[in-house]
Structure 1
Amino acid sequence: MPHTPFDRLACPLDSQPLTRDDNRWTCSHGHSYDIARQGYTHLLPVQHKRSRDPGDSKAMVQARKRFLNGGYYQAIATAVTQTTLKDHPSEQPLACLDAGCGEGYYLRQLAEQSPTDQPLELMGLDVSKWAVLAAAKQDSNTTWVVGTNAHLPVQSDSLDRVLCMFGFPVYSEFSRVLKPGGRLIQVDPGADHLRELRAVLYSEVRDSRSLEQSVPEGFEAVSEERIREVVSIEGQDNIQDVLSMTPHGYRAPKEGLERVAMLEEINVAVDVVIRVMEFR
């Protein structure tokens, strides 16, 4: 399928368009950013960092990679792909950013599941260099960038779709980079997401984020879909992976972690809400 890198990047220091010159990106003011040999570009200036090594750790990224490649969230990926392609003319390129892409699972699924006649221009961005490195190693046809949602290194009015998967939305930036009529696809955990695992970890199980969310300024609600199924996670290694890829791995009390360490199988709810909002 026609799956090509997204090329409308912007300088993170002055917002000028970036132009690719061999193995680097440069702007008209002379700022230059090398493309690493693994195929990604670091566009996160030190003044935009909140810590020396922000985002998910190398261990969290590897746990997420193993878990997602195991197919446990396949239903989410399929629904997101269908939602992303919906109402977009198949003969026109679809420019899509995954804002908080992790190790790139959902963009790879989008590329694999899209019709062969649908041109794709894909970009994945994450604040974790370990996540972007893992993504670039698995897919060389996408633009992979270390950056932040708070200052997207993307030219204005250049995207048809923005994905925000279990992430941290910055609506002012999403509206800036989307074309008029472009869509934000936001996926958040439902009330029952991983409830059975949380019940083992904690003495009291609280609902995940509220399903009731207002539509941000400049957007119009298009649709809302809830995906819910029960998956069986077998083996302590796989159980530890789903624990390690979530904040529960370092938030849960010692007693809860010890209880999880004794499990060899657990059935858990995968429960998410997919909200689609169109930029006006």
Structure 2
Amino acid sequence: MSVHAFDALACPLDGDALSLSQACWRCPSGHSFDVARQGYLHLLPVQNKRSLDPGDSKAMVAARQRFLNAGYYQPVAEAVNTAVLHDMPSQTISLACLDAGCGEGYYLRQLAAAESGVPLSLMGLDISKWATLAAAKQDKRPRWVVGSNANIPVLPGTLDRLLCLFGFPAYAEFARVLKPGGILVQADAGPDHLRELREVIYPSLKPGKPAATEAPHGFSTLDTETVRYPLTLDSQASIADLLAMTPHLYRASAEGRARAEALETLTVTVEVTLRRFANQAGATLTAT
């Protein structure tokens, strides 16, 4: 399968199209953005940062990379691939797909390795420079961009697929950058996801939030799938990596984290709700 970098980028300052000249992207207004020597592009203006170093830390990214590359979430990745590649139009020349909140790029790498026969135009976006750097080091083919879901640096109506996997959805932005009829693939933790780990680190578990039953504004629901399986972690290191890549690392007390650190083996439930939505809004463009 042919995999190349998505190029329909927009200036994060004025929204105009960016064009590449050597190792620099420029818009007609003269704003310019250099490609880092590691291969990623920084399109997060300082005024849009909420902190000096937003997003996942270097340590969290490293833990997620070790855990995901060990294959523990491979069934989730396979379900995501199926959701992305399902029902592609026969005349599709190239499928443009953005992972909004891509982390260290695991799911885009898995998609790039899938056998679909259709060329893929891929881009990973994450607010963490450490995540984007890790992604760029592992696979040079997709476009890796530091940026925010609140202001996606992509031209309107240019994406066929958009992934939001365990992330922070910005539905208005998703509708803007997707083509009419383009598909949003969203993955969220199910009510039993990592329950056994949560039972170790918390004194008691809060009732889970009820699953959303309506499509986000501007979208229609296509289908919903639950990916559920037991996962056995047989080392302190893998348990520590799982905890470090989740928000539970900061939510748990010191005592709860210590209980998790003392474990040598743990079997947890993986439960992921995967939903597909079709874009009913967006720019009025002819899909290709």
Common fold by TM > 0.5: yes
Structure 1, residues 249-274: CA drift from partner, whole Å, max 9, x if none? 12101111111111100000010100
Is this contact kept in 2: 1:38–1:133, CA < 8 A? yes
Question: What does residue 101 of structure 2 align with?
Answer: 100
Is this contact kept in 2: 1:190–1:209, CA < 8 A? no
Question: What does residue 177 of structure 1 align with?
Answer: 177
Paired amino acid for 2:131: A
Q: CA deviation at 1:21?
A: 0.8
Q: Unaligned 5+ residue runs, structure 1?
A: none
Paired amino acid for 1:28: P
Paired amino acid for 1:45: P
What is the CA–CA distance in structure 1 between the aligned matches of 2:209 and 2:115, rounded to whole Å?
30
Secondary structure at the counterpart of residue 149 of structure 1: coil
Secondary structure at the counterpart of residue 107 of structure 2: helix
What is the CA–CA distance in structure 2 between the aligned matches of 1:26 and 1:113, rounded to whole Å?
33
Alignment CA distance shift 1:62-1:181 (3 Å): same
More divergent stretch after superposition (256-265 vs 183-192): 256-265
Paired amino acid for 1:95: A
Question: What does residue 38 of structure 2 align with?
Answer: 38
Is this contact kept in 2: 1:193–1:208, CA < 8 A? no
TM-score (norm 2): 0.95
Paired amino acid for 2:147: G
Q: CA deviation at 1:208?
A: 4.5
Paired amino acid for 2:185: I
Question: What does residue 27 of structure 2 align with?
Answer: 27
Q: CA deviation at 1:213?
A: 4.1
Question: What does residue 237 of structure 2 align with?
Answer: 237
Q: CA deviation at 1:210?
A: 3.0
Question: What does residue 126 of structure 2 align with?
Answer: 126
Q: CA deviation at 1:205?
A: 1.5
Q: CA deviation at 1:209?
A: 4.3
What is the CA–CA distance in structure 1 between the aligned matches of 2:89 and 2:110, rounded to whole Å?
19
Paired amino acid for 2:10: A
Secondary structure at the counterpart of residue 121 of structure 1: strand
Question: What does residue 88 of structure 2 align with?
Answer: 88
What is the CA–CA distance in structure 1 between the aligned matches of 2:208 and 2:145, rounded to whole Å?
29
Secondary structure at the counterpart of residue 28 of structure 2: coil
What is the CA–CA distance in structure 2 between the aligned matches of 1:201 and 1:48, rounded to whole Å?
34
Q: Unaligned 5+ residue runs, structure 2?
A: 281-288
Secondary structure at the counterpart of residue 167 of structure 1: coil
What is the CA–CA distance in structure 2 between the aligned matches of 1:222 and 1:49, rounded to whole Å?
34
Paired amino acid for 2:100: A
Paired amino acid for 1:138: Q
Question: What does residue 164 of structure 1 align with?
Answer: 164
Aligned length: 279
Structure 1, residues 95-115: CA drift from partner, whole Å, max 9, x if none? 000000000000000010132
Is this contact kept in 2: 1:61–1:245, CA < 8 A? yes
Secondary structure at the counterpart of residue 275 of structure 2: strand
Question: What does residue 268 of structure 1 align with?
Answer: 268
What is the CA–CA distance in structure 1 between the aligned matches of 2:89 and 2:179, rounded to whole Å?
15
Structure 1, residues 119-157: CA drift from partner, whole Å, max 9, x if none? 000000000000000000001000000000000000000
CA RMSD of aligned residues (A): 1.0
Question: What does residue 145 of structure 1 align with?
Answer: 145
Paired amino acid for 2:199: A
Alignment CA distance shift 1:111-1:32 (3 Å): same
What is the CA–CA distance in structure 1 between the aligned matches of 2:65 and 2:233, rounded to whole Å?
15
Paired amino acid for 2:103: G
Is 1:55–2:55 an aligned residue pair?
yes
Alignment CA distance shift 1:181-1:53 (3 Å): same
What is the CA–CA distance in structure 2 between the aligned matches of 1:30 and 1:262, rounded to whole Å?
55
TM-score (norm 1): 0.98
